[in-house]
């Protein structure tokens, strides 16, 4: 689609651009249907275990659910964020004059306007808007509030940023080396390290019938929620801001916004009643402080919705993990010792890396009884999109590792894949890799149930 | 500015919009019919799916000017004051929608399919939904719901 | 030529945050007609958590799910919640909601006891009534009790509760400790067809057997597993964010970031493992994330079974599988030549 500035440039005044949006939203065309279901009273209770339909599901099917981008508030402005477009750089200057002069643009802010410009669920290494340094191409460097979404999108094109580009670090194994320059220098590239040590792996390997090694790696993927990140901020005359947001964690979100804006929590209200998919990607603030500041600066409600490309390069992704497995087994395929090294590509900022590192390290041994275990995991900075929480926190990656590895062992020993797993599976009361006694354990039951349903009748001929 | 007059869900509506306005924006911002969603704005995800003159369309790829004089059906045009559309009812009973964002688009595709083919096979259904991305459901319960309607012989 | 293969993968996954406190609080208000409202700070992201929480509260109060209205995700009006993350909502927020409902229920029992001529600890709440344990003929409708609580006793039945999983910090050197209160387990088995000339993989069928403790709502559990499998299929075969040499994403759009459509999904069969966890609300644990954990491994093991090649990096694109098949064939040729 070609540039959409034609109409506004012709008219050239703020007032005409506003006229495009002045009409109040008309009433919906179709009245709300009333189809009250009265479930059969004899089947209403007990409630647990029932295949109850969802009240919100009905509204979804009618198209009546209002997601944040569906909200229209009188006087509302639209915000778009300018993205760095370079993976590693110093910001020399940000020139917003041309954007500010555009008809329809009401306010522009940069990183310098953020009172406390750092946040993060553990390490607070991420800026709301990059101020001095850019660490990945999706970093925001400025934000515009305008009367239409199109004007805002055009205005960010007019913002000129001068960068001093620096060589990016892209390979996590390179980043792991001590001589590689720190992405967040003076901090080291390795920003997280976890070890799980149990028993005596050297003795375990010494007693093994055979030792197997395998290396695996997974790729960076994105949550792709159908609804992009969105937030809408409105202030009242008492200095309270209400932010409707797609955040999955409103308690933490409120704390982050209080901190970055330097205001008390009692002056912040976060509402996140309706979200179109999260999968871990909407668990930290993104646009919220930006719209709050723009709303304060302009005195009008401000909404910001990510474009689909921003969903990819400006929101968190799943950690690529490089996994090295070494397993010692008996002739019957019983695991005696396992050694694992994990290297997590930790992207430009910490985000949820600490949690992912911890979980990956704990889970990477697999759901198996292993007396002798050594698992070591590292997470390193790279100048790529920040890696954060994505459905599984490292579990899908390590499961790919340990289960591929298990099948390789089974094949080499001539043991049926189902049988080798049954022989090693955790049981009720087993010790986990961290020596916790496990309860409510049903690995074997799930294996047998799935095998029976599938029709898995022993090894293939 | 471009003037458009069209029929939306059986009612004549008109609006004056900038020439580059998409049908999606026309529906959402001028008529407050926010059922059709903006998921990508470039025709990849199908969240904006509506029916124009009987044809299934990604409304983000059509300009408002192109629907002048045409007949547009959106999700808001399916139910009546006292009755859910059979597709909406089946989706509710089978739990076919989770976050719901792709829902209106999927239901319009399902409606279009059942209008053409009241007794679709599973491959037919998968084909008809191929332009609608869903991240929550894996499509399984949507396919089940559409099969159930076909089996009931209910008119879509 | 298409070659069929099958592969399995099992997994385990924890509920809640690693060691760290991750509490949830909840408030249950019983209305004067015996229906109720639950206030929870959790965020419904599409997984159906609000319905699950309503079912848990309804079970505790002995009423129908439709009788419980859930208000969520507003820092002004709902109590704190650590959030919809780490598959914790059913277990942690669910426990909080159940505890809150129990407190409100006990207030109702105090009001109902004199109405029924028994002690409060002799009462149960079921089928919309407060009933005497062991003598169910003596009962009173919950609405009558709730109304009496307001107009006679002057004790509005409002219960507030919170829950935090019990953990033990991990030793910094050895990682030993109790990081999570509970875990869930699952197995997925995949059946694939691999075209040994193009490397294209078609997933024909996936059987999934998932543990979630008590399934509060089996339909929603199935929905989560089916959705998780679709993410697993994408992870296994299609999805990848690509970067250029300068660190910029090459495919930040849905045209070139390939994810599963309805055409890519296999037939999925979901079974829920019969289980009960006494630490969870009515025995429930959780299911959100575990659903996408073992899919890729199952598919790659099935590829291995079908064409004898081991995919060691994801995604297993047609090109990658094709190259692995060619390399294997070349190696076999060399071995035959060496032997001959």
Contact residues, chain C, for A276 at CB < 8 Å: 46
CATH code of the domain occupying C17-163 = 3.30.365.10
In this prediction, residue B82 has a pLDDT band, given cuts at 50, 70 and 90, of: confident
Q: Of A321-335, B89-103, B141-155, give the lowest mean pLDDT range.
A: B141-155
CATH number for the domain spanning A127: value is 3.90.1170.50
Report pTM: 0.95
- How many Å apart are CA C324 and CA A13, to the nearest integer? 62
A301 and A325 within one domain: no
DSSP one-letter string for A83-141: E--SSSEEEEEEE-HHHHHSTTEEEEEEGGG-SS--B-SSS--B-SS-SSEE-STT-EE
* Smallest CA–CA distance from A228 into chain B, residue: B39
The predicted-structure confidence for A234-277, as pLDDT tens digits, reads as follows 999 999 999 999 999 999 999 999 999 999 999 999 999 999 99
Q: Which of C219, C255, C268 sits opposite B138 (nearest CB)?
A: C268
In this prediction, residue A25 has a pLDDT band, given cuts at 50, 70 and 90, of: very low
Contact A361, C175 (CB under 8 A): yes
Which of B5, B43, B11 minimizes the C-alpha distance to B24? B43
C261 contacts B133? CB cut-off 8 A: yes
Residues B103-135 as b/e (b if ≥16 CB within 10 A, e otherwise) read: bbbbbbbbbbbbeeeeebeeeebbebbebbbbb
A270 and A123 within one domain: no
Q: Which residues pair with A411 in a beta bridge?
A: none
Any A CB within 8 A of B90 CB: no
Rounded to a whole number, what is the distance in Å from the CA of A361 to chain B's nearest CA?
27
Which of A344, A333, A454, A335 minimizes the C-alpha distance to A395? A344
A224 contacts B97? CB cut-off 8 A: no
Q: Report yes or no on A30 lying in a domain.
A: no
Name the neighbours of B, counting chains with at least 3 Cβ pairs within 8 A.
A, C
CA separation, residue A28 to residues A169, B77, C150, C229 (Å): 52, 10, 40, 37
A54 contacts B95? CB cut-off 8 A: yes
**CA C58 to mean position of chain CA atoms:** 20
Contact C24, C93 (CB under 8 A): yes
B125 contacts C268? CB cut-off 8 A: no
Q: What is the pLDDT of residue A32?
A: 63
Any B CB within 8 A of C230 CB: yes
A387 and A416 within one domain: yes
C185 contacts A218? CB cut-off 8 A: no
A330 and A289 within one domain: no
DSSP assignment letter at A317: B
* Smallest CA–CA distance from A55 into chain B, residue: B92
- How many Å apart are CA B125 and CA B119, to the nearest integer? 10
- How many Å apart are CA A250 and CA C45, to the nearest integer? 12
Rounded to a whole number, what is the distance in Å from the CA of A276 to chain B's nearest CA?
5
Q: Average pLDDT of B2-20?
A: 94
Q: What is the pLDDT of residue A10?
A: 36
A291 and A263 within one domain: yes
CATH code of the domain occupying C2-14+180-334 = 3.30.365.10
- How many Å apart are CA A8 and CA A21, to the nearest integer? 13
A309 and A255 within one domain: yes
Q: Of A23-37, A442-456, B122-136, C37-51, give the lowest mean pLDDT range.
A: A23-37
Q: What is the pLDDT of residue A14?
A: 42
Q: What average pLDDT does the structure give for chain A? A: 92
Contact residues, chain A, for B106 at CB < 8 Å: none
A27 contacts B101? CB cut-off 8 A: no
Rounded to a whole number, what is the distance in Å from the CA of B121 to chain A's nearest CA?
23
Contact A209, A307 (CB under 8 A): no
Q: Report yes or no on A39 lying in a domain.
A: no
Q: What is the pLDDT of residue A13?
A: 40
Give CA torsion, residues A430, A433, A438, A441, to 10 deg: -80
A271 contacts C12? CB cut-off 8 A: no
Q: Which of A384, A404, A451, A458 to mutate to test the interface with C (most CBs of C within 10 A)?
A: A404
Q: Which of C45, C227, C253 sits opposite B137 (nearest CB)?
A: C227
- How many Å apart are CA C236 and CA C240, to the nearest integer? 10
Contact residues, chain A, for B133 at CB < 8 Å: 224, 226
Q: Which of B99, B126, B136 sits opposite C262 (nearest CB)?
A: B126
Q: Average pLDDT of A412-438?
A: 97
Range of the domain at A250: 230-313
| Segment (H or E) for A19 | helix A14-19
CA angle C187, C192, C198 (to 5 degrees): 145
Q: Which residues pair with C126 in a beta bridge?
A: C129
Contact C123, C133 (CB under 8 A): yes
Strands B71-73 and B49-52: antiparallel
- Residue A228 neighbours by CB under 8 Å, 6+ apart: A69, A305, A306, A307, A308, A310, A311, B38, B39
Q: What is the pLDDT of residue A2?
A: 37
pLDDT above 80 (res A23): no
Rounded to a whole number, what is the distance in Å from the CA of A355 to chain C's nearest CA?
7
Structure tokens at A348: 């430009």
Structural domain count of chain A: 3
B1 contacts A7? CB cut-off 8 A: yes
A276 contacts C75? CB cut-off 8 A: no
Q: In what order do the strands lie in the sheet with A241-245?
A: A105-110, A140-146, A77-83, A302-305, A230-235, A241-245, A268-271
CATH number for the domain spanning A300: value is 3.30.365.10
C222 contacts B141? CB cut-off 8 A: yes
Interface of B with C (CB under 8 A): 40, 42, 44-45, 94-95, 98-101, 125-127, 129-143
Catalytic residues of C: 289
Q: To which residue do tokens 């030993």 refer?
A: C176
Name the neighbours of A, counting chains with at least 3 Cβ pairs within 8 A.
B, C
* Smallest CA–CA distance from A274 into chain B, residue: B99
Contact residues, chain C, for B126 at CB < 8 Å: 262-263, 265
Q: What is the pLDDT of residue A4?
A: 37
- How many Å apart are CA A267 and CA A235, to the nearest integer? 10
ipTM over 0.95: yes
The predicted-structure confidence for A96-147, as pLDDT tens digits, reads as follows 999 999 999 999 999 999 999 999 999 999 999 999 999 999 999 999 999 9
DSSP assignment letter at C281: G
Q: Where are the domains of chain C?
A: 2-14+180-334, 17-163
Q: Which of C6, C177, C246 sits opposite A434 (nearest CB)?
A: C177
Contact residues, chain A, for B45 at CB < 8 Å: 226, 308
* Smallest CA–CA distance from C76 into chain A, residue: A269
Q: Of A1-15, B35-49, C140-154, C303-317, give the lowest mean pLDDT range.
A: A1-15
DSSP one-letter string for A174-189: HHHSTTSPPTTTTS-S
Q: Report yes or no on A186 lying in a domain.
A: yes
pLDDT above 60 (res A16): no
In this prediction, residue A34 has a pLDDT band, given cuts at 50, 70 and 90, of: low
The predicted-structure confidence for C103-161, as pLDDT tens digits, reads as follows 999 999 999 999 999 999 999 999 999 999 999 999 999 999 999 999 999 999 999 99
pLDDT above 70 (res B12): yes
- How many Å apart are CA C82 and CA C86, to the nearest integer? 10
Contact A388, A284 (CB under 8 A): yes
Q: Report yes or no on A363 lying in a domain.
A: yes
Any C CB within 8 A of A103 CB: no
A30 contacts B133? CB cut-off 8 A: no
Contact residues, chain C, for B140 at CB < 8 Å: 222, 226, 265, 268
The predicted-structure confidence for A300-320, as pLDDT tens digits, reads as follows 999 999 999 999 999 999 999
Q: Where are the beta strands (DSSP E) in chain B?
A: 2-8, 11-17, 49-52, 55-58, 71-73
A270 contacts C275? CB cut-off 8 A: no
Q: Average pLDDT of A407-430?
A: 98
- Residue B15 neighbours by CB under 8 Å, 6+ apart: B3, B4, B26, B30, B31, B64
10-residue averages of pLDDT along chain C (340 residues): 98 97 97 96 96 98 96 97 96 98 98 97 96 96 96 96 97 97 98 98 98 97 98 98 98 98 98 97 97 98 98 98 97 90
Contact residues, chain B, for C226 at CB < 8 Å: 137-141
| Segment (H or E) for A388 | none
A340 and A327 within one domain: yes
Q: In what order do the strands lie in the sheet with B55-58?
A: B11-17, B2-8, B71-73, B49-52, B55-58
Q: What is the pLDDT of residue B151?
A: 85
* Smallest CA–CA distance from A305 into chain B, residue: B38
* Smallest CA–CA distance from A4 into chain B, residue: B20
Which of B9, B143, B101, B36 minimizes the C-alpha distance to A57? B101
A56 contacts B80? CB cut-off 8 A: no
A460/A235: higher pLDDT? A235
Q: What is the pLDDT of residue A180?
A: 86
* Smallest CA–CA distance from A68 into chain B, residue: B34
Q: Which of A217, A269, A282 sits opposite C75 (nearest CB)?
A: A269
C46 contacts B99? CB cut-off 8 A: yes
pLDDT above 90 (res A337): yes
Q: Which of A404, A418, A449 sits opposite C273 (nearest CB)?
A: A449
Contact residues, chain A, for C80 at CB < 8 Å: 251
Q: What is the pLDDT of residue A178?
A: 81
Q: Report yes or no on A259 lying in a domain.
A: yes
Q: Report yes or no on A64 lying in a domain.
A: no
Q: What is the pLDDT of residue A22?
A: 43
Query: Which residues in chain A (49-78) have CB-CB distances under 8 A to chain C?
Result: 49-57
Rounded to a whole number, what is the distance in Å from the CA of B29 to chain A's nearest CA?
7
- How many Å apart are CA C24 and CA C97, to the nearest integer? 9
* Smallest CA–CA distance from B107 into chain A, residue: A61
A246 and A104 within one domain: no
- How many Å apart are CA B144 and CA B97, to the nearest integer? 12
Q: What is the pLDDT of residue A230?
A: 98
Contact residues, chain A, for B19 at CB < 8 Å: 6-7
A285 and A193 within one domain: no
Q: Which of A2, A54, A308 sits opposite B39 (nearest CB)?
A: A308
- How many Å apart are CA C213 and CA C15, to the nearest integer? 11
Contacts across the B-C interface (CB distance below 8 Å): 77
One fold for C2-14+180-334 and C17-163: yes
pLDDT above 60 (res A9): no
Contact residues, chain A, for B28 at CB < 8 Å: 70
């Amino acid at each position: 689609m070609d540039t959409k500035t034609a109409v506004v440039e012709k008219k050239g005044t703020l007032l005409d651009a506003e006229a495009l949006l002045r009409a109040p939203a008309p009433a919906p065309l179709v009245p709300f249907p009333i189809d009250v279901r009265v479930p059969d009273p004899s089947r209403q209770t007990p409630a647990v275990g029932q295949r109850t339909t969802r009240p919100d599901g009905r509204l979804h099917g009618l198209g009546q659910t209002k997601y944040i981008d569906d909200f229209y508030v009188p006087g509302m402005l639209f915000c778009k964020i300018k993205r760095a477009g370079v993976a590693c750089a110093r910001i020399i200057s940000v020139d917003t004059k041309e954007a500010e002069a555009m008809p329809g643009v009401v306010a522009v802010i940069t990183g310098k306007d953020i009172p406390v410009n750092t946040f993060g669920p553990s390490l607070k290494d991420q800026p709301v808007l990059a101020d001095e340094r850019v660490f990945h191409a999706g970093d925001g460097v400025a934000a515009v509030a305008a009367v239409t979404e199109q004007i805002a999108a055009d205005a960010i094109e007019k913002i000129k940023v001068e960068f001093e580009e620096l060589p990016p670090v892209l390979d996590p194994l390179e980043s792991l080396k001590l001589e590689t320059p720190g992405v967040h220098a003076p901090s080291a590239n390795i920003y997280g390290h976890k070890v799980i040590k149990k028993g005596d792996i050297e003795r375990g390997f010494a007693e093994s019938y055979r030792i197997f090694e395998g290396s695996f790696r997974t790729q960076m993927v994105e949550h792709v929620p159908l609804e992009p990140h969105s937030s809408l901020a409105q202030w009242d005359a008492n200095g309270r801001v209400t932010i409707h947001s797609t955040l999955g964690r409103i308690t933490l979100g409120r704390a982050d916004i209080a901190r970055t804006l330097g205001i008390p929590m009692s002056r912040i209200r976060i509402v996140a009643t309706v979200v179109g998919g999260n999968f871990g990607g909407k668990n930290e603030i993104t646009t919220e402080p930006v719209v709050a500041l723009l709303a304060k600066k302009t005195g009008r409600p401000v909404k910001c919705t990510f474009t689909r490309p921003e969903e990819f390069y400006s929101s968190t992704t799943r950690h690529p993990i490089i996994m090295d497995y070494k397993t010692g087994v008996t002739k019957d395929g019983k695991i005696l010792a396992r050694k694992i090294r994990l290297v997590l590509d930790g992207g430009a900022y910490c985000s949820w890396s600490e949690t992912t590192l911890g979980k990956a390290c704990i889970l990477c041994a697999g759901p198996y009884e292993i007396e002798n275990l050594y698992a070591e995991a590292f997470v390193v900075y790279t100048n790529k999109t920040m890696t954060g929480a994505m459905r599984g926190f490292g579990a899908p990656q390590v499961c790919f590792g340990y289960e591929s590895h298990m099948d390789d062992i089974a094949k080499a020993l001539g043991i049926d894949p189902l049988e080798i797993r049954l022989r090693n599976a955790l049981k009720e009361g087993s010790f986990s890799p961290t020596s916790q006694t496990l309860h409510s354990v049903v690995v074997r039951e799930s294996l047998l149930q799935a095998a029976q349903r599938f029709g898995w009748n022993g090894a293939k001929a | 500015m471009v003037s458009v007059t069209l029929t939306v869900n059986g009612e004549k509506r008109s609006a004056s919009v900038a020439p580059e306005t998409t049908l999606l924006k026309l529906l959402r911002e001028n008529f407050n019919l926010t059922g059709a969603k903006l998921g990508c704005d470039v025709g990849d995800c199908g969240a904006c799916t509506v029916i124009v003159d009987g044809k299934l369309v990604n409304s983000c790829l059509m300009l408002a000017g192109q629907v002048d004089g045409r007949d547009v059906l959106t999700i808001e045009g399916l139910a009546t004051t006292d009755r859910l559309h059979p597709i909406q009812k089946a989706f509710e009973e089978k739990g076919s929608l989770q976050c719901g964002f792709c829902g209106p688009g999927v239901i319009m595709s399902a409606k279009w399919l059942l209008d053409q083919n009241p007794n679709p096979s599973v491959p037919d259904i998968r084909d008809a939904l191929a332009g609608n991305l869903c991240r929550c459901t894996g499509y399984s319960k949507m396919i089940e719901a559409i099969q159930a309607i076909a089996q009931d012989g209910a008119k879509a | 030529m298409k070659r069929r293969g099958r592969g399995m993968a099992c997994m385990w996954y924890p509920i809640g945050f690693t060691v760290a406190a991750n509490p949830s609080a909840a408030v249950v208000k019983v209305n004067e007609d015996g229906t109720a409202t639950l206030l929870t700070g959790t965020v419904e992201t599409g997984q159906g958590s609000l319905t699950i929480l309503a079912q848990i509260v309804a079970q505790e109060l002995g009423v129908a799910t439709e009788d419980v209205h859930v208000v969520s995700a507003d820092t002004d009006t709902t109590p704190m919640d650590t959030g919809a993350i780490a598959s914790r909502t059913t277990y942690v927020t669910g426990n909080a909601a159940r505890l809150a409902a129990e407190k409100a229920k006990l207030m109702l029992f105090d009001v109902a006891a004199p109405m029924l001529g028994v002690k409060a600890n002799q009462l149960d709440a079921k089928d919309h009534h407060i009933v005497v344990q062991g003598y169910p003929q003596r009962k009173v409708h919950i609405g009558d009790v709730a109304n009496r609580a307001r107009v006679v006793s002057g004790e509005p039945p409002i219960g507030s509760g919170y829950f935090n999983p019990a953990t033990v910090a991990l030793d910094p050197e050895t990682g030993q400790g109790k990081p999570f209160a509970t875990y869930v387990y699952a197995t997925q088995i995949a059946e694939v067809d691999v075209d040994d000339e193009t490397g294209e993989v078609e997933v024909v069928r996936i059987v999934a057997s998932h543990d979630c403790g008590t399934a509060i709502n089996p339909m929603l559990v199935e929905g989560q597993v089916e959705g998780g499998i679709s993410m697993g299929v994408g992870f296994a075969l299609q999805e990848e964010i690509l970067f250029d040499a300068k660190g910029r994403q090459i495919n930040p759009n849905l045209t070139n970031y390939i994810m599963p459509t309805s055409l890519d999904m296999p037939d999925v069969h979901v079974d829920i493992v019969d289980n009960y966890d006494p630490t969870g609300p009515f025995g429930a644990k959780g299911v959100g994330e575990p659903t996408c954990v073992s899919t890729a491994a199952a598919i790659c093991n099935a590829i291995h079974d079908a064409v004898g090649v081991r995919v060691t990096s994801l995604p297993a694109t047609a090109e990658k599988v094709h190259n692995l098949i060619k390399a294997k064939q070349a190696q076999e040729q060399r071995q035959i030549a060496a032997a001959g």
